[in-house]
Amino acid sequence: MVKSCLIRDAREMGEVAMTSRKHARAYRSSLRASDVARLGLTGLRARPMRAVLSALGIAIGIAAMVGVVGVSASSQARLQEQLRALGTNMLTARSGADLSGAELILPEDSVGRTRMIPGVTSAASTSTLSGVSVYRSRLSDPNATGGIITMAADTNLLDVVSGQMKRGAWLNEATAKYPGVVLGSKAAQLLGVVQPGTQVWLGGRSFTVLGILEPAPLAEELDNSALIGVSAASTYFDAGKTPTTIYERSSEDQVENVRTLLGPTLAPQGSTGLKVSRPSDALAAQNAADQTFTTLLAGVGSIALLVGGIGVANTMIISVLERRKEIGLRRSLGAKRSHISVQFLAEALILSFLGGVAGCLIGGGVTWGMCIAYGWPPTLHWWVIAAGLGATVLIGAIAGLYPAIRAARTPPTAALASQ
């Protein structure tokens, strides 16, 4: 009887203890997300200038990274637009010195030979006129040539190289026979010519400027050239019939085959002196160089972001030291260590996140401004913004972790007794 009573009492005591533990868990102190955000903002509002300066360090790093990536992406988009517009199916063949040092002379029918290669859709040529210089007037200094090269050009050259006229007109079958000249963009600047109809002194006689070219990305040698018709070059200078550069367009799938056949076609006796190139490859190589520079700048931005994170950590440590009494008071009123650590960690996260948002806005503004200034299509991928904000949250968590743990481990009595 006594034994059964003891068992019953023990069972009842166990049930009471279990009920007490359940109630304790039910009424355990906790912080809601809104409470955490409010506490974090309260701490930052107490010292706004310090918070702004700390967030500025994060903003500079993120702005540098977002701006660099955005400008690079916009530049690449512009390059892709250029390549699509200009085409990647153009090859150039230039005469040069062979292995023995002798200058290769292309045959007069080089354009016709090139057009007979399977896959070639169009071809044109230029011929450099040695000893034929161009000046603004007959009174100009004979030594002040400005490096301008005089060339005889086929009438279909502009179509082959996808060139554009800035002002005036290109050579045609009629004007190619008379003393008329088309100036490249740089040549026109050097001569001070801004309008067609201007007279220039070319090869000891007066020539009329027919037009001015836009910069030619696939034939940059034309930018610093004065171009006259082949017939005019033959009539006035007894030159221009032997081409020095061949430009050709072919089907996209036949470019490599044409590249292989150009040498034997134009120089069957030996093509070591023939320089065959693909101008679009130079643009792609330039883009690769820009990418390397972009990576370097992104590394600099990462360093700036790291410095900003150190600034946030320093700010939070100082904040912990200055608010020891606040920490002690909260601990004495029942706040747990987790509450204190969450509060200071939230401050660091909010501070970093606000800096990240400001940095993304600044970086986006820089990208937009550069695109407007250079005429690029604005390109800023969403993942760049997401990565920027994610990086700021990560930096904030790392920077705020040690100060938060230090604040949580502060004894209440020592905190209240501090001055």
Give per-residue pLDDT as tens, 68-93. Answer: 888 877 877 777 776 666 667 888 88
Q: What is the Cα–Cα distance from 163 to 176, expressed in whole angstroms?
A: 18
Query: What is residue 243's three-state secondary structure?
Result: coil
pLDDT at 127: 93
Residue range 402-413: average pLDDT? 74
Most confident region among 12-26, 205-219, 247-261, 300-314 by mean pLDDT:
205-219
How many CB atoms neighbour CB 395 within 10 A?
Answer: 26
Q: What is the Cα–Cα distance from 309 to 179, expressed in whole angstroms?
A: 69
pLDDT at residue 84 in the model: 65
Angle at 359 between CA 344 and CA 388, to 5 degrees: 80
Token pair recorded at residue 414: 């020592």
Cβ neighbourhood burial of 263 (10 Å; 0-12, 13-18, 19+):
middle
- Position 21 confidence tier, pLDDT thresholds 50, 70, 90: very low
Mean predicted lDDT score pLDDT of the chain: 79
Separation between Cα atoms, residue 201 and residue 39, nearest integer Å: 80
What is the distance between the alpha carbons of residues 125 and 129, in angstroms, rounded to a whole number? 13
DSSP 175: G
Q: Could you tell me how many residues make up the chain?
A: 419
The answer to whether the beta carbons of residues 135 and 120 sit under 8 Å apart is no
66-70, 85-89, 244-248, 363-367: range with highest mean pLDDT: 244-248
Yes or no: say if 399 and 352 are a contact pair by the CB < 8 Å rule.
yes
Confirm if 266 and 221 have CB atoms less than 8 A apart.
Answer: no
Residue 297 DSSP SS3: helix
**Residue ranges of domains in the chain:** 32-82+285-417, 89-279
The token pair that represents 179 in the structure block? 């003393």
Tokens of 123: 């071809």
Using CA atoms of 137, 142, 145, 150 in order, give the dihedral in degrees to the nearest 10.
80
- Tokens 């100009």, residue located: 140
DSSP state of 253: G
Least confident span in 85-89, 222-226, 378-382: 85-89
Q: Is the pLDDT of residue 20 over 70?
A: no
| Spatial distance between the Cα atoms of 321 and 339, rounded to a whole number of angstroms | 17
Whether residue 357 contacts residue 61, with contact meaning beta carbons closer than 8 Å, is answered with no
What is the model's pLDDT at position 271? 60
Can you tell me whether residue 275 is helix, strand or coil? strand
Greater pLDDT, 31 or 324: 324
Tell me the DSSP string of 32-83. Answer: -HHHHHHHHHHHHHHSHHHHHHHHHHHHHHHHHHHHHHHHHHHHHHHHHHHH
The reported pLDDT for the residue numbered 288 is 61
pLDDT grade for 16, boundaries at 50, 70 and 90: very low
How do residues 321-339 score in pLDDT, each as one tens digit? 777 777 777 777 777 777 7
> Where is pLDDT greater, at 415 or 106?
106
Compare 121 and 267 and report the one with higher pLDDT.
121
Quote the pLDDT of residue 92.
87
Distance between CA atoms of 60 and 359, rounded to whole angstroms? 6
pTM listed for this prediction:
0.58
Nearest to 207 by CA among 143, 129, 147, 124: 129
